[in-house]
Amino acid sequence: MNKKSHKKKQKKRGKADGKNKENIIDADGQHNVADSEEGQSATPAEKDCCYEVKHSVVMGRYVVAARDIRAGEVIIEAPALAVGPCTGCGLICLGCYRELDESSLFKCRGCKWPMCSGSCPGQGQYTGHSKYECDTLKTAPPDYSDLVDLKDSYQALMPLRCLLLKEADPEKWSVICAMEPHNELRRARGDIFPMNDRHVVRRIKKWNLKFDEEEIHNVCGILEVNAFEVGGSGANARALYGDAHLLAHACTPSTTHTDAERAARRPLTVRAAVPHRAGDLVSLCYAYTLQGTLKRREHIKQTKFFDCSCKRCSDPTELGTYASAFRCPKCTGRVLSTAPLDPDAQWNCIDNGCTYTMPAAAVQMLLKRLTDEFEQIDANDVPGFENFLHKYRNVLHTTHYLCLSAKHSLSQLYGKVADYMIHQMPENELKRKIEICRDLMKVFDVIEPGYSRLRGVTLYELHAPLMILTTRDFERKAISKENLRNRLKEIVGYLTESALILGFEPAQSSEGLMASAARDALKKIRTWEQIIGKIS
């Protein structure tokens, strides 16, 4: 999947079984399997397993808690079945997926395809550049005189890796084949099959590899519907996993997940972000939670082939976050969709008895214009994001998802980029960072409740300006010992929770390093106890 995008399925099924990617929570809340004739176990839970796979005609197969599950507890830990390049990636190493410098490419000694070095940790691994892939590609060496075509050929590599498992690892191949490809829905779209035919089927045929055309299309569908992006921000790889692909979708997910890219077999770990009671549906989000309903539903429809009608999507206020709300030009009230599950529905002002309306087409045009402008802002441009927020303060509600995205960037830029380093920031900028983090936390607690990465990172960002202001007040003797103790207690709480949440991430990931920094900061704060006594 945060930022990651998200996906899901498994086991051989009959014709009426193919509904896994419609494993969604509807507007009425979690699926109550106990009261459903269809809530039959598809597979019994193992003795030490905290979840079980259920089946219904409506949802296909899905996962529920087999017992009460604590927040932070591991629900699923599954090794990758296959890993490979994302579609649309640049030139990357076939072993570790690192981006490569086009001017100095290292070539695999066997097949001559791009690698980072002769000692790449992914060399010879099925999660990277396996021996059987290398032997296969020896007959299809890349054309380094045409780098555009070489990049285009990467789109066929992940499907090829799956197809090669048919002989190399039949057990993994059988699990992959049981996943839902949604071929009928994909074929009906009219754009996906021709694209896969052009970029994957023809390429594999060009390499003189004898795979059935329908089988190739089937694998493409399985990947489109079930693959997880892996590797952290700016991911260049995608992977298929076992039971993890069965998790139902909700735009307020109950789990968080991470992949250990440096570990053997590249396992995916799914943890409970919030407590689950026995029978609760286990969910993740197939879209980016920091988007509004129109964008999330469009993405899910395009990539997962179903219309999301979860509780958040069904509510015009998005559970009270107003993440899609505009400002009314007549009364400054809130303008919301009259029917959020209908992209063509009219938008109305809901405040002050105002009669202002906006047609859906006007909303789409405005969103496109603002999104295009937002995406032009450089990723490190603090004034750029602040100017965007100021410029559209009378157009976008303060918690509109574009404002949230700008604030999310600012929360991490203040204190870390040139001219805004944390120890040099004046009081007004430190207070601005605190304000931004608190604004974000109010929304994150709703759209990604519990132990989410967004919460863990924002808690860490929140502690820093509070600590600087507290230290400055202490140094100029502008704070009482009791106030100092209370502030430090608050900061310790933020750091403790941040270290806990981000400690679930791989140690060398950016989040894992932040967890380590949070633990170090906690140790330093404890030295204050020599001055003021016990903090907590």
The residue from 238, 263, 298 where one domain ends is: 238
User: Above 90 in pLDDT, residue 263?
Assistant: no
Instruction: Please report which confidence band the pLDDT of residue 234 belongs to, taking 50, 70 and 90 as the band edges.
Output: low
Same domain? For 486 and 391 the reply is yes
pLDDT for the residue numbered 235: 64
Same domain? For 508 and 359 the reply is yes
Measured CA distances, 120 to 97, 102, 133, 142, 154 (Å): 10, 17, 15, 19, 18
Q: Cα–Cα distance between 85 and 96 in angstroms, integer?
A: 10
Q: Cα–Cα distance between 497 and 519 in angstroms, integer?
A: 10
Quick one: average pLDDT of 64-81? 96
Q: Cα–Cα distance between 84 and 49 in angstroms, integer?
A: 29
Quick one: average pLDDT of 26-33? 41
Of the chain, the percentage scoring pLDDT greater than 70 comes to 89
User: Above 60 in pLDDT, residue 9?
Assistant: no
Instruction: Please report which confidence band the pLDDT of residue 395 belongs to, taking 50, 70 and 90 as the band edges.
Output: very high
Same domain? For 481 and 360 the reply is yes
Candidates 310, 272, 319; CA nearest to 443 is: 319
- Whether residue 426 is contained in a domain is answered as yes
Same domain? For 209 and 343 the reply is no
- For the chain, what is the domain count? 2
User: Above 50 in pLDDT, residue 293?
Assistant: yes
Instruction: Please report which confidence band the pLDDT of residue 178 belongs to, taking 50, 70 and 90 as the band edges.
Output: very high
User: Above 70 in pLDDT, residue 471?
Assistant: yes
**Residue 28: DSSP 8-state:** T
pLDDT for the residue numbered 33: 38
Q: Cα–Cα distance between 128 and 122 in angstroms, integer?
A: 5
The residue from 214, 238, 262 where one domain ends is: 238
User: pLDDT: is 99 or 535 the higher one?
Assistant: 99
- Whether residue 161 is contained in a domain is answered as yes
- Whether residue 144 is contained in a domain is answered as yes
Q: Cα–Cα distance between 310 and 30 in angstroms, integer?
A: 9
**Residue 436: DSSP 8-state:** H
Q: Cα–Cα distance between 30 and 218 in angstroms, integer?
A: 31
3 state SS of 478: coil
Quick one: average pLDDT of 40-51? 59
User: Above 70 in pLDDT, residue 305?
Assistant: yes
pLDDT for the residue numbered 38: 39
- 172 contacts 78 by C-beta, under 8 angstroms: no
To the nearest whole number, what is the mean pLDDT of the chain? 89
pTM: 0.86
User: Above 70 in pLDDT, residue 30?
Assistant: no
User: Above 80 in pLDDT, residue 24?
Assistant: no
- Whether residue 168 is contained in a domain is answered as yes
The residue from 197, 216, 238 where one domain ends is: 238
Q: Cα–Cα distance between 315 and 338 in angstroms, integer?
A: 10
User: Above 80 in pLDDT, residue 112?
Assistant: yes
pLDDT for the residue numbered 20: 37
Q: What's the 3-state SS for 309-364?
A: CCHHHHCCCCCCCCCCCEECCCCCCEEEECCCCCCCCCEEECCCCCCCEECHHHHH
Of the chain, the percentage scoring pLDDT greater than 90 comes to 76
Same domain? For 93 and 193 the reply is yes
- If one counts every other C-beta atom within 10 angstroms of the C-beta of residue 89, the result is 19
- Whether residue 359 is contained in a domain is answered as yes
- Whether residue 164 is contained in a domain is answered as yes
CATH for 499: 1.25.40
For 400-451, what is each residue's pLDDT tens digit? 999 999 999 999 999 999 999 999 999 999 999 999 999 999 999 999 999 9
User: Above 60 in pLDDT, residue 35?
Assistant: no
Q: Cα–Cα distance between 434 and 449 in angstroms, integer?
A: 20
- 343 contacts 300 by C-beta, under 8 angstroms: no
- 221 contacts 183 by C-beta, under 8 angstroms: yes
Same domain? For 366 and 496 the reply is yes
For 484-519, what is each residue's pLDDT tens digit? 989 999 999 999 999 999 999 988 888 999 999 999
Same domain? For 91 and 223 the reply is yes
Give the tokens for residue 528. 């204050």
Same domain? For 227 and 366 the reply is no
- Whether residue 162 is contained in a domain is answered as yes
Phi, psi of 465 (to 5 degrees): -65, -35
The interaxial angle of helices 382-391 and 401-413, nearest 10 deg, is 150
Q: Cα–Cα distance between 122 and 360 in angstroms, integer?
A: 49
Given strand 228-230, what is the order of strands in its sheet? 80-85, 237-241, 228-230
Quick one: average pLDDT of 445-466? 96
Residues in Cβ contact with 183 at an 8 Å cutoff, skipping those fewer than 6 apart: 217, 218, 221
Q: Cα–Cα distance between 297 and 311 in angstroms, integer?
A: 13
Give the tokens for residue 488. 């430090």
Same domain? For 382 and 526 the reply is yes
User: Above 70 in pLDDT, residue 468?
Assistant: yes
- Whether residue 396 is contained in a domain is answered as yes
Q: Cα–Cα distance between 413 and 75 in angstroms, integer?
A: 34
Instruction: Please report which confidence band the pLDDT of residue 2 belongs to, taking 50, 70 and 90 as the band edges.
Output: very low
Host domain of residue 343: 324-532
- If one counts every other C-beta atom within 10 angstroms of the C-beta of residue 101, the result is 9
Residues in Cβ contact with 343 at an 8 Å cutoff, skipping those fewer than 6 apart: 294, 297, 298, 360, 364
Instruction: Please report which confidence band the pLDDT of residue 295 belongs to, taking 50, 70 and 90 as the band edges.
Output: very high
